[in-house]
Amino acid sequence: MVINFPAKKSRNLETVRVKILIAARRLFGKYGFHGTTTRMIAREVGIDVSTLYYHWGEKGNLYEAVVLDINDDLRKKLIDLEGIIHGLPLAQRMGIAIEAITDYLFEHPEITKVILSRCFVNIRHESSQNIRVPEYISNIAFSMGLSGDKKGVSVKHKMQVLTIMNSIYAFVSGEEFFRASLGIKRDEYIALVKETLNFILIPAFANSMAGEKANF
Amino acid sequence: MVINFPAKKSRNLETVRVKILIAARRLFGKYGFHGTTTRMIAREVGIDVSTLYYHWGEKGNLYEAVVLDINDDLRKKLIDLEGIIHGLPLAQRMGIAIEAITDYLFEHPEITKVILSRCFVNIRHESSQNIRVPEYISNIAFSMGLSGDKKGVSVKHKMQVLTIMNSIYAFVSGEEFFRASLGIKRDEYIALVKETLNFILIPAFANSMAGEKANF
DNA sequence: TCTTTCCCCCATCATTTGTTTGATTTTCTC
DNA sequence: GAGAAAATCAAACAAATGATGGGGGAAAGA
């Protein structure tokens, strides 16, 4: 729980620190927190393990940094997306959003892997797990038009967004596993994921305006 | 990779061996493979760690046993379920199945946790990961009436079943995380999960017979 | 140029972790 | 109850792992 990392240099000489962060993201995503050793990360970057500690301190520190970094990336991506789908009808908005988010996450599968392993797998010596669904869940609900109020998104709508996001996360994180099982190639798989998500997720919201209250 | 475990005693004196399996299931589910140590498991059972090795050999062996055991439980449960929903119309079948599976898994969250952590998180020294989606995915597709043929279930339908199962798994495995974020109690959460799953999953299949071909 | 700061590595340490060995106790069989 | 078999534990080991301290070199500031 030490909090002493060197000040940013603001040059591109920051590279080592960032390289560590990137390698850590990939490895924590692939093997989980306990499955990743500081030496593995250091080896991937090509530095000594003590250099890693110099830059980031405790392993848990680095892990937290990875999580924050990922949430940040995702938040930015979603803001971009919001600009694109703004104003479109709900079903169309959903379709575009699913397509865009899916593409993005398939390009950066470490993101979903870290998120899921953080949500589902506990860490020993349970630290101050700042457990919380990132605020962007509410933002998504708002962007999608499920909720008219950005702050006061109802639990019900948050759950709906979670369902959508979880479905995408699962297919991205489980790509290796599912593809090996189904025996298909990457692009086939990605196309199939989109197709399936559209088939399953869209209809529920398609007639949302009319059916919302009737459905519950 | 040693394969010498003692023969079954067929008495209820098998308890220690089984106790280990149960504790291992819980802990592997909670902390993942690398996050769980053999000593943690032994301590939970109240035995020495060497006794654990006497009964199960390598840690990876025990883990594989847990996975097999879980798949077996799930398979049995799904066979039960099939008897109940057989012959009902599709949407109704889906509704009952979701309700039943959700209830069952919320009672045994270690099941989903182990499955997800196995699908999504790699293990170092990647052993002979007999990667495969268990055959029950096809069985579910058949029971649901998505496919008329138990053996030759299409990839598309398998994907649909995976979507459903993944959604349930995610909400069960992520209960602690999501509930803490949403600030609701367990029974509220479970009810909300069912409600949301029904809202999102059912409509896609509701008019499936008519819309199947038109949708793609 | 001299000094200070920053960055990095070598060597090392204390624990933890997977696993085994050998002795001891418990249970079963006759 | 004697002897065989099975189950358990205490102790130990090697390797892996999280973490640190000191030294050396490059760069920056004086």
Structural domains present in chain A: 68-215 (1.10.357)
Read off the pLDDT of each residue in A102-109 and give the average, rounded to a whole number: 97
State the pLDDT at residue B130.
62
d(CA B98, CA A200): 15
pLDDT tens-digit series, residues A1-34: 433 444 443 334 468 999 999 999 999 999 999 9
Cα separation, B96 vs B93, in Å, equals: 5
Q: How far is it, in rounded angstroms, from Cα A196 to Cα B81?
A: 24
User: Taking the CB of residue A81, how many other CB atoms lie within 10 A of it?
Assistant: 18
The span from the CA of B121 to the CA of B115, in Å, is: 10
The CA-based dihedral angle spanning residues A203, A115, B71, B208, taken in that order and rounded to the nearest 10 degrees: 10
pLDDT at residue A130, rounded to an integer: 62
**Can you give the pLDDT at residue A185?**
97
Q: Is B179 on the interface with A (CB under 8 A)?
A: no
Chain C nucleotides reached by a protein CB under 7 Å: 6-11, 16-22, 27-28
Pick out chain B residues at pLDDT < 70: 1-14, 126-133, 207-216
**Model pLDDT, residue A8:** 41
Distance CA A106, CA B148 (A): 32
Mean pLDDT to the nearest integer, A68-95? 90
Predicted pLDDT at A125: 81
List, for residues B23-35, the tens digit of each pLDDT value.
Answer: 999 999 999 999 9
CB burial of A166-192 (b: ≥16 within 10 Å; e: otherwise) equals bbbbbbbbbbebbbebbebeeeebbeb
- Nearest protein residue to nucleotide C8, judged by CA and C1' positions: A51
- From the list A117, A123, A160, which residue is nearest B121 (CB)? A117
Q: Is the pLDDT of residue A214 over 50?
A: no
The yes-or-no verdict on residue A36 having pLDDT over 80 is yes
The yes-or-no verdict on residue A191 having pLDDT over 90 is yes
Assign A57 to helix, strand or coil.
coil
Q: Average pLDDT, stretch A124-135?
A: 68
